[in-house]
Amino acid sequence: MPLVTLVEVLKRAEAESFAVGAFNCNNMEIVQAIVEAAEAEASPVVIQASQGALKYAGLEYIVALVRTAASSTRVPVVLHLDHGTDRNQVWQALRAGFTSVMVDGSPLPLEENISLTRQVVEVARAMGVSVEGELGRIGGTEDHVRVAGREATLTDPEEARRFVAETGVDALAVAIGTAHGPYRGVPRLDFERLKTIRELTGIPLVLHGSSGVPDEDIRRAVALGVRKVNIDTDIRTAFVKKMREVLAARPEEIDPRKILGPAREAAREVIRHKIRVFGSSGRA
Ligand code: G3H
Ligand code: 13P
Ligand code: ZN
């Protein structure tokens, strides 16, 4: 089926209290792994591309790969721009056919984040495209372990209320203690803060940096209003681990398909597990 918007899949996620998985892609094998997993679980899915992924694969390749994947499946597929920090890149994604964009103004002062995000919402809405905004700083691993000063980087619930009211975003990425990339130790999520943000905003919330977060914590976050869960690192880890295993067992292997094929399968299994944890199996 054709690509659908994030708003469309979030409608059912809200009504039935589950989260949709948003999985990062960089190449054909990962796009295929994501769609095969969603299909096997009969689940809606978000395939997202970061600015780094677009630079690596090329915008047109990513759009063509994801469109092709969506057209050959019956599950709803959203093509989403992950962490759009550059206004021009957001416009490019809109023109190229993305059905959802994230505008990440989180490093900016609140007023500037609101104004950038509102501008993107105005344009995207006119094109029938969904928008995710971000408030608070979702750290990298280094930021995460530096616990001192953590409070200051997390999303302020009152600011979130104002941000949502003034921008009109469809979904909000929140900083509640997760970080991008691998964790050293187990992350500590601020569930009280999540609950308050949800009460004050009433919109679908997005959890970034979700690789390495224990399944139980993910389920708890979903119960408190997280409706989109972003996963990249756990896919990369499974994919590359399998490549290393194949190469270690057969160092003479020169056929990329014999290396990337098993890696694609390993990625697919990780994604299937995540989809079950998010509660979106059977909700396509
Ligand atoms: O949010 C970050 C994603 O994991 C994308 O990472 O910028 O290395 O593509 P990347
Ligand atoms: P992880 O790589 O930590 O799973 O984070 C993914 C993410 O938040 C993409 O926006
Ligand atoms: Zn992210």
Would 67 be classed as within a structural domain?
A: yes
Higher pLDDT, 141 or 118: 118
Is pLDDT at 4 greater than 90 in this prediction? yes
Would 73 be classed as within a structural domain?
A: yes
Atom 1 of ligand 2: nearest residue by CA position: 209
Average pLDDT over residues 253-259: 98
pLDDT tens digit string along 14-42?
999 999 999 999 999 999 999 999 999 99
How is 75-114 classified by DSSP, letter by letter? Answer: S-EEEEEEEE-SHHHHHHHHHHT-SEEEE--TTS-HHHHH
CA of 144 to the centre of ligand 3 (A): 14
Rounded distance, CA 35 to CA 145, Å? 34
The whole-chain average pLDDT of the chain stands at 96
The answer to whether 240 and 209 have CB atoms below 8 angstroms apart is: no
**Residue 97 near ligand 2, beta carbon < 6 Å:** no
Q: How many domains does the chain have?
A: 1
> Among the options 82, 156, 170, 234, which is catalytic?
82
Q: Is 217 a catalytic residue?
A: no
Is pLDDT at 118 greater than 90 in this prediction? yes
pLDDT tens digit string along 80-102?
999 999 899 999 999 999 999 99
Q: How many CB atoms lie within 10 A of CB 144?
A: 22
The answer to whether 63 and 97 have CB atoms below 8 angstroms apart is: yes
Q: Which domain holds residue 114?
A: 6-278
The answer to whether 44 and 9 have CB atoms below 8 angstroms apart is: yes
Binned at pLDDT 50, 70 and 90, residue 145 comes out as: very low
CA of 250 to the centre of ligand 1 (A): 30
Q: What is the pTM of this model?
A: 0.97
**Residue 211 near ligand 2, beta carbon < 6 Å:** yes
Residue 3 to residues 46, 67, 72, 183, Cα–Cα distance (Å):
10, 7, 11, 33
CA of 179 to the centre of ligand 2 (A): 8
User: Which ligand is in closest contact with the Cα of 25?
Assistant: 1
Burial class of 60 by CB neighbour count within 10 A (0 to 12, 13 to 18, 19+): exposed
CATH number of the domain within which 25 lies: 3.20.20.70
pLDDT value of residue 140: 76
Binned at pLDDT 50, 70 and 90, residue 148 comes out as: low
Rounded distance, CA 226 to CA 150, Å? 21
